[in-house]
Structure 1
């Protein structure tokens, strides 16, 4: 059976609607991901503004003409990177968390998963945390991360663990904290340091939330 993909025909973004067979759809998805990962490496190495579509094509092992069959511009590639990151971040939050542990341990559990993803996607993680991949036309990564974290807190915080502070506010604190430490981690590449500092800061926040006003 064919798969109907509205708004994207697998070769360029101009067609409003086209039928793509499943095998071809998988090939297109793999090729697009190869190009996105190559672009992330090139952007991280030389900077977004300096990189050309021809350089991305060389990094990915394609001709420039082939590259334009999948992405029409650097801006479209940047949006694709943002969508890839968002999809993988969502998958981290979708994984089950043990229910019978305190919020602190749940957040550290989530932190470990995010660190694993950052290791896997280091070039893209660098672009995200340095602000290169930010808000596309339909994808605000910062807002999405805060929303995912707020939902996580609503689902997993026990009564009193947030001290009456709205989950959205705590999510913004934790998101800002995490972004700051991950940015430093990109330079240090020291997982032990990152976990120690994040745990220390998390304890300060949680103690403050539990303290009477």
Structure 2
């Protein structure tokens, strides 16, 4: 019997995940059944279960790929010799949006599923933790260059940037296309905020 090539195995796995992502993005994880995934992927139950024993396994695989794509988009920015400012960094969201391996509508389903799926929660925490590590390094660079006050923990700033990125992606899903320049302008405005001098009576 001829051996199945690695390329064939990967193509079949991709076919399954692509079909599952379309179903999950449309119906949600718990609104979709394995039968829905089978129909969407065009494969038999035996073929699908060979790769993924459950919907949960598919969900974890999808989340892992998305997190990998997000991190890959920011790694060149973090590695740059001269750190980019936050309002420039967020423009990478456009690249992420256009290169996500699956429909962006899948993202909120992944986030909410972490509340009931411990394995997925661990995957998400590790993936986002790696992204926070990149951004924490950027913030530390700002402080070394004297661009940012050094009494604020870099991790706190990184968490705030992550919140902005996640919130903006959610807004795009809810409201439709939104220019990332809106977020960049908002961050730029916040970066110019100055505390008013007290006026003595």
User: TM-score by structure 2 length?
Assistant: 0.75
Where in structure 2 are the equivalents of 1:56-67 lying within 5 Å?
56-67=37-48
Quick check: 157-166 or 130-139, which moved more?
Answer: 130-139
Larger Rg: 2
Contact kept? 1:98, 1:106, Cα under 8 Å: no
Report the Cα offset of residue 62 of structure 1. 0.8
Report the Cα offset of residue 50 of structure 1. 1.9
Structure 1: runs of 5+ lacking an equivalent? 1-20
Distance in 2 of aligned mates of 1:103 and 1:176 = 16
Partner of 2:132: 146
Distance in 1 of aligned mates of 2:25 and 2:129 = 23
Aligned residues: 187
Distance in 2 of aligned mates of 1:161 and 1:47 = 43
Partner of 1:92: 73
For the residue of structure 1 that corresponds to 2:113, the secondary structure is coil
Q: Do structure 1's residue 163 and structure 2's residue 140 form an aligned pair? A: no
Partner of 1:45: 26
Distance in 1 of aligned mates of 2:57 and 2:48 = 12
Contact kept? 1:38, 1:60, Cα under 8 Å: yes
Compared CA separation, residues 75 and 170, structure 1 to 2 (3 A): same
- Residue of 99, 102, 109 corresponding to 1:117: 99
Report the Cα offset of residue 149 of structure 1. 2.6
Partner of 1:75: 56
Report the Cα offset of residue 152 of structure 1. 4.2
Return the structure number with greater relative CO, CA threshold 8 A, min gap 6. 2
Structure 2: runs of 5+ lacking an equivalent? 197-201
